[in-house]
Amino acid sequence: MIVHLLTRLTITVLILLLSISTSANATPILFDFNTLTDGDTNAKVQAYMQGVLDLEFPGIKVTVTGAGAEKDYTGDRHVVGPVSNTNTVKSKTLGTSDKGVHHDGLDTFLVNKSPSDRISIEFSFPILSASFDYEIFPDGTCPKKSNTCKETTSNWPDFTFKADGVAHFRALGILPGDAGTYPNSPFSGPFNKERGPQLLGTSGDWSFPEGVTKLEFIDWPRMIGIDNLSVTPVSIPEPGSLLLFGAGLLALAARLRRVRDRSMS
């Protein structure tokens, strides 16, 4: 009798757990930062990200440090772009591209603000995946007409992405005068090759099966930018499922007490 009753209770609990595990499928959350304005502070960046989270996952909190909003930063005019028919150069940056596709007009992206060497974003709930656009801005490592810029230079611009303190990739700037679609910048003009190392790229999808809570976007020595940050939180049970599970546990405890009392009488 007791064994039969316990078996039935076990099946009931398994059904409750199954209902919770399938109650909600987490979907990616996109932060495009476009409602921020040029020059917005870290506090405004955090408020924007919290607002996006509250729409989909009101239980998740986010803490942002070291960030600011930009629209038209061009690495002191060293960022390269196409030469127009008027012999002027227009830089291509995160402000003029989304997921690697260029467009007209400017949108907003995040940069690390001095003296911070990184943008840190920490969530109160585990994240299973992340993707983003990024830019390594030139820092004047190589002069305008230099042909001897080496990657061993101590301050060669780069970008590192970390999740919970573990580095997942590092990218170096490239010399646009030697590689890349556009070799000219507003600084170099339409007839000289830009010599400041830089890079505009996309991260691809990074998965974290165990879940992470802290993302860091690290620069040395100048400045990096990120845009179109997409994160996927772990599945969060719906409130009704949590109530159902709690009620099931209470019922289980009550019935086990009755079984114990009968066996002792």
Tell me: the pLDDT tens digits for 9-27?
A: 444 444 444 333 433 457 8
Asked whether residue 189 falls in the same domain as residue 257, the answer is no
Asked whether residue 146 falls in the same domain as residue 255, the answer is no
Please classify residue 77 by burial: count the beta carbons closer than 10 Å to its beta carbon, then call 0-12 exposed, 13-18 middle and 19+ buried: middle
Q: Residue 7's pLDDT band (boundaries 50, 70, 90)?
A: very low
Asked whether residue 53 falls in the same domain as residue 142, the answer is yes
Strands (E), 66-205: 67-70, 97-98, 101-102, 109-112, 118-136, 158-163, 166-172, 199-202
Asked whether residue 180 falls in the same domain as residue 222, the answer is yes
- For the segment 146-172, the average pLDDT, to the nearest whole number, is 80
| CA 103 to centroid of chain Cα atoms | 22
- The type of residue at 3 is V
Query: Pick from 221, 123, 204, 118: which is nearest to 168 by CA?
Result: 204
Asked whether residue 80 falls in the same domain as residue 210, the answer is yes
Asked whether residue 8 falls in the same domain as residue 121, the answer is no
Tell me: the pLDDT tens digits for 49-102?
A: 999 999 988 889 999 999 999 999 999 999 999 999 889 999 999 999 888 788
Q: What is the number of domains present in the chain? A: 2
- For the segment 173-180, the average pLDDT, to the nearest whole number, is 79
- For the segment 102-106, the average pLDDT, to the nearest whole number, is 86
Q: Whole-model pTM?
A: 0.77
Q: Residue 245's pLDDT band (boundaries 50, 70, 90)?
A: very low
- For the segment 28-50, the average pLDDT, to the nearest whole number, is 97
Residues 185 and 131 sit within 8 Å (Cβ to Cβ): no
3-state secondary structure of 21: helix
Q: What is the pLDDT of residue 75?
A: 92
- For the segment 121-150, the average pLDDT, to the nearest whole number, is 81
Which stretch of DSSP H or E encloses residue 65? strand 62-65
Q: What is the pLDDT of residue 14?
A: 40
Asked whether residue 3 falls in the same domain as residue 100, the answer is no
Asked whether residue 213 falls in the same domain as residue 183, the answer is yes
Other beta carbons within 10 angstroms of residue 90's beta carbon come to 17
Instruction: State percent of the chain over pLDDT 70.
Output: 72
For residue 222, what are the domain limits?
Answer: 27-236
Asked whether residue 251 falls in the same domain as residue 168, the answer is no
Q: What is the pLDDT of residue 13?
A: 44
Asked whether residue 228 falls in the same domain as residue 248, the answer is no
Q: Please say if the pLDDT value at position 196 is more than 80.
A: yes
Mean pLDDT of the chain: 82
Report the DSSP beta bridge partners of residue 83.
Answer: 89
Q: Please say if the pLDDT value at position 243 is more than 60.
A: no
Asked whether residue 97 falls in the same domain as residue 209, the answer is yes
* Those residues with Cβ within 8 angstroms of residue 247's Cβ, 6 or more apart along the chain or in another chain: none
- The type of residue at 5 is L
Here the tokens at position 144 are 């305008």
* Those residues with Cβ within 8 angstroms of residue 161's Cβ, 6 or more apart along the chain or in another chain: 134, 167, 168, 169, 170, 203, 206, 215, 216, 217, 218
Asked whether residue 78 falls in the same domain as residue 187, the answer is yes
Q: Please say if the pLDDT value at position 136 is more than 70.
A: yes
Tell me: the pLDDT tens digits for 218-241?
A: 998 779 999 999 999 987 555 454
